[in-house]
Structure 1
Amino acid sequence: MPDSSNPLRTLARWSLAGAMVFAGVTHLFWGRKEFQTQVPDWTTRGTGFDKDDVVIVSGVLEVMLGASLVLLPGSRRTLGNYLAAFFVAIFPGNLEQYLKKRDGFGLDTDRKRFVRLFFQPVLVAVALWSTRDGRR
């Protein structure tokens, strides 16, 4: 089980957990329409899902991952891996928003949408780092 004695890792993990739960709830309620702008067009082809379905599923996953980071301390490393994979999986949505110049959540210029792309690797790194104990 990861060592929870590192206060910076604990703070990062709890912050990430809170952000994930908040983002997930936003997906499910007041932000659904705006999140649909980030769903790549290709995700709906042949899946039977529409963009709203994708937003709902991703919102539920975000709530589950965020809550699990706090509620399942014995599974932190595994959850960090899942969360990092989730951040990688949603990156095409960020890329599509940039490439197709789709506005959403204040990302209303090419520059803002481009800068946002660089936050995804940071989220992957924080997910992995905050769920490790610093030992090999």
Structure 2
Amino acid sequence: MTPNFPPLSPWQNAGRLLLGGALAFAGVSHLTFARDEFQAQVPKSLPLNEDFVVLASGVAEISLGAALVALPRQRVTLGWVAAAFFVAVFPGNVSQYLTRTDAFGLNSDRDRLLRLFFQPVLVAGALWTTGAWAARKRR
């Protein structure tokens, strides 16, 4: 049985599809052309192989992105999963800032700091585009 969530606005639905596509693209880039860049973001304190972390997060992003596009009936759950994913990878962004590691064209402290403020936007976007926040408030 499908949950009875309010319908998404055309803007939310477009955002959900865009977010799904962006996640899938980012996941593919983890596995291919940007693999080294992503390895630069893995915190040194993480007791896992950097390449494993990049490959695993790439597979997770591809899966999550594809699900956001292909499983609209699961959108609320997927919105929470996407938000949690963005929170989970945030320490990598913080590590990049603290260690002053250049990657993705972020080659100044200012640029790396500004990027930190984008992560909450991604969390909010995942919750808004999927209707997850509105569904939570309706319970």
In 2 relative to 1, CA 104–63 (structure 1 residues): closer, same or farther, beyond 3 Å? Answer: same
- Partner of 1:42: helix, strand, or coil? coil
Contact persistence 2:87–2:123 (CA under 8 A)? yes
Distance (whole Å) between structure 1 residues aligned to residue 61 and residue 131 of structure 2? 20
Of 9, 24, 33, which aligns to 1:30?
33
Of 16, 20, 23, which aligns to 1:20?
23
Contact persistence 2:16–2:68 (CA under 8 A)? yes
Q: TM-score, normalised by structure 1?
A: 0.92
- Partner of 1:41: helix, strand, or coil? coil
| Alignment-derived partner of residue 58 in structure 1 | 57
Contact persistence 2:25–2:62 (CA under 8 A)? yes
Contact persistence 1:36–1:52 (CA under 8 A)? yes
Q: Which runs of 5+ in 2 are unaligned?
A: none
Contact persistence 1:4–1:10 (CA under 8 A)? no
Identical aligned residues as a percent: 54
Following superposition, the deviation at residue 4 of structure 1 comes to 4.4
Q: TM-score, normalised by structure 2?
A: 0.90
Contact persistence 1:14–1:70 (CA under 8 A)? yes
1:8 maps onto 2:11 in alignment: yes
Aligned length, in residue pairs = 132
Contact persistence 1:24–1:60 (CA under 8 A)? yes
Distance (whole Å) between structure 1 residues aligned to residue 19 and residue 30 of structure 2? 16
| Alignment-derived partner of residue 128 in structure 1 | 127
Distance (whole Å) between structure 1 residues aligned to residue 6 and residue 70 of structure 2? 15
Distance (whole Å) between structure 1 residues aligned to residue 21 and residue 73 of structure 2? 18
- Partner of 2:45: helix, strand, or coil? helix
| Alignment-derived partner of residue 115 in structure 1 | 114
Distance (whole Å) between structure 2 residues aligned to residue 84 and residue 42 of structure 1? 23
Contact persistence 2:21–2:69 (CA under 8 A)? no
Taking only aligned residues, the RMSD between alpha carbons, in angstroms, comes to 1.3
